[in-house]
A and B are shown apart, each in its own frame.
Chain A
Amino acid sequence: VRNGSGGSEVGATWALIAAAGSGERLGIDRPKAFAALGGRPLLAESLDRLDRCEFVDAIVVAAPPGWEEPAILLAEELAASKVVACVTGGTTRTASVAAALFEEGAYDSEGNLMTTTMATYLVPSAAEVPSYETDRTETAADNPLGVKGVGETGTIAAAPAVINAVVDALSHLGVTDVGLPATPERVWKAIEEVRS
């Protein structure tokens, strides 16, 4: 959009509500954005405030898989007219994919952290996140207490899935492992090592 005075361009301000977290640690029967607080869902609080905020032009809600419809119904109920879209989120899985392919705390030989800015500590944008399908496995907890971790399961599972996919793609060359994150250079080196 153009502003009235100098003809220079100014952007519209969009708000993204990251409401896709599962909230497993809360131990309730629904995602945390839909947990009740003071008689209404947490998400209602954010929607209400952003809709009334004069600096926000439009709102996008990222909802957990299967909860897009309830999110839209809630926006309608609140008459939050700025809501333009509800998308399916997956923040923990995306972050985990990022760990497998991009994010790295790299140190030099003297122990200085080299990745100190967002130009060097790479966070993937929409263009880099691969498409994925989610599924579940049922595996007995083979330890004395019979216990399992239940929080942030997406984070735990997705990184090995991505690395296994990379290794699978290279297995015909004899590659059996690729370090984390699997940067183009690490993939190249893994191939060069089995060749030499």
Chain B
Amino acid sequence: VIPAPFEYVVAEAADHAIELLGKREEAKLLAGGHSLIPAMKLRLARPALLVDVGRIADLSYVREESDFVEIGALTRHKDVAASSVLEQHCPIVSSTAGRVGDPQVRHRGTIGGSLAHGDPASDLPSVMLAVGANLVARGPHGERVIPAGEFFTGVFETALAPDEMLVQVRVPKLGSAGWSYTKMARRAQDWATVGVAAVVERSNGSVGKAAIALTNMGATSLRAAASEDALAGGASVEEAAALAADGTEPPSDHAASSDFRRHLVRVLTRRALEEAARGGSMRDG
């Protein structure tokens, strides 16, 4: 309940934060604090130095570009959820941000903080995989772009180097693609027991190609490759959804056993694909 001792510094700008990260081992960035602080209280995380980036105002924005939308890493979930640009061009991102945690979490937590935390039970990593987002990391030697598919490397682990900061999220405009993020949680504010993000190409109301990503079905959010391949090969939604648990190693914990998660992911994948085929929206499992 009480965190281990740590030092605390407020960063004035992103470059200042990166400089501070480079100076100390075991330094962590603090944004909204709704993942890191609980982890510190449970002593799952024991950073020696907290670099508070929460006051860097110029990293909170949603900007429309030609074929993608740029989201500043420190944009809070409630601002992502309320963005009319995202609602028009990539509504799976704004809808899902509006369903992260509870109102308190959404008013403090940031999109960059959530992604950099690398929690396989978080909703937004799956959405990033399904839309094919690019994540912009800045370090002492400049910026690099990391595809979402290469960003999540393990439980609470990402491709970010210790002295890099996630500064921007780029999500492609979805055009006419159908979409769904379907999750089941024990209570409204809980982490998803299982979640499924789907972005599909539709032809006459049926599903052609689809990108499907799964929440809380392994060490990271991951693509449902077997289901995707089946759909590309002409399988029906039912046939493809029945393969959703293939190749996954879901955890067993207080919320569900791995067997129940394998059952849930097949049901939720079918519902997500049906929802996406109809157009797109968000639902609870």
Residue B84 is within 8 A (CB to CB) of chain A in the complex: no
For the complex, would chain A's binding face be called helix, strand, loop or mixed by DSSP majority?
loop
A115 partner residues in chain B, CB cutoff 8 A: 254
Known: A127-B187, A128-B187. A185 touches B256 (CB 8 A): yes
Contacts of B193 in A (CB 8 A): 184
Known A120-B254, A188-B260: A125·B188 in contact at CB below 8 Å: yes
A125 and B107 contact, Cβ closer than 8 Å, known pairs A185-B257, A188-B263 = no
- Measured between beta carbons, the chain B residues less than 8 angstroms from A185 are 256-257, 260
Alpha-carbon distance A102/B188, docked complex (angstroms) = 13
Q: Say whether B186 contacts A183, CB under 8 Å.
A: yes
How many angstroms between the C-alpha atoms of A189 and B254 in the bound complex? 15
A122 within 8 A of B: yes
Q: Interface residues of B, CB < 8 Å — how many?
A: 17
CB-based contact B107/A122 at 8 Å: no
Partner of B188, one of A114, A120, A127, A184: A127
Interface centre among B184, B186, B189, B190 (most CB of A within 10 A): B186
Please report B residues at the A interface, Cβ cutoff 8 Å.
38, 42, 55, 102, 107, 184, 186-190, 193, 254, 256-257, 260, 263
Task: For the A-B complex with A125-B102, A127-B188 known, give 9 more contacts whose Cβ atoms are closer than 8 Å.
Answer: A6-B55, A102-B187, A119-B190, A122-B190, A125-B188, A128-B187, A184-B186, A185-B256, A189-B260
Q: Which of B38, B189, B260 has its CB near the most chain A CB atoms (within 10 A)?
A: B260
Q: How far is the CB of B261 from chain A (nearest CB, A)?
A: 9
CB distance from B167 to the nearest CB of A (A): 21
**Is there an interface contact between B254 and A114, defined as CB atoms closer than 8 Å?**
yes
**B187 contact from A6, A117, A124, A189, Cβ within 8 A:** A124
Nearest chain-B residue to A6 (Cβ)? Answer: B55
List chain A residues, Cβ under 8 A from B263: 188
Q: Which of A1-24 contact B (CB under 8 A)?
A: 6, 9
Is the pair B254, A106 in contact by a Cβ cutoff of 8 Å? yes
A134 to chain B, nearest CB (A): 24
CA distance A189 to B260 in the complex (A): 9
B77 to chain A, nearest CB (A): 13
State the Cβ distance, B83 to closest chain A Cβ, in Å.
18
Query: Would you call A128 and B188 a contact (CB within 8 A)?
Result: yes
CA distance A143 to B48 in the complex (A): 65
Contacts of B42 in A (CB 8 A): 117
Chain A positions 169 through 187: 1 when the CB is less than 8 Å from some CB of chain B, otherwise 0: 0000000000000011100
B186 to A102, Cβ gap below 8 A?
yes
Task: Please indicate the chain A residues that have their CB under 8 angstroms from the CB of B260 in the complex.
Answer: 184-185, 188-189
Residue of chain A at shortest CB distance from B267: A188
Return the chain A residue nearest B57 by Cβ: A7
Minimum CB–CB distance for B88 against chain A, Å: 26
Q: How far is the CA of A127 from the CA of B107 in the complex (A)?
A: 19
Provide the bound-state CA to CA distance between A189 and B256, in Å: 11
Report the Cα distance A184→B254, complex, angstroms: 12
**B188 CB to nearest chain A CB (Å):** 4
| Interfacial chain B residues near A188, Cβ < 8 Å | 260, 263
Interface 1/0s, chain A 55-79, versus B by CB < 8 A? 0000000000000000000000000
Q: Is the CB of A125 within 8 A of B187?
A: yes
Expressed in whole angstroms, the Cα–Cα distance for A196 and B257 within the complex equals 19
**Given the complex of chains A and B, what is the CA–CA distance between A96 and B118 in angstroms?**
37
Q: Min CB distance, A23 to chain B, in Å?
A: 30
Chain A residues 115 to 147 lying within 8 A of chain B, measured CB to CB, are: 115, 117, 119-120, 122, 124-125, 127-128
A115 to B254, CA, bound (A): 8
Taking CB atoms, residues of chain A closer than 8 Å to B190 are 119, 122
**How far is the CB of B282 from the nearest CB of chain A, in Å?**
15
Alpha-carbon separation in the docked complex, A114 to B104 (Å):
26
Cβ distance A58 to chain B, nearest Cβ, rounded Å: 17
Closest CB in chain A relative to B107 CB, distance in Å: 7
| A185→B42 CA distance, assembly (Å) | 27
Within 88-121 of A, Cβ neighbours of B (below 8 Å) are at 102, 106, 114-115, 117, 119-120
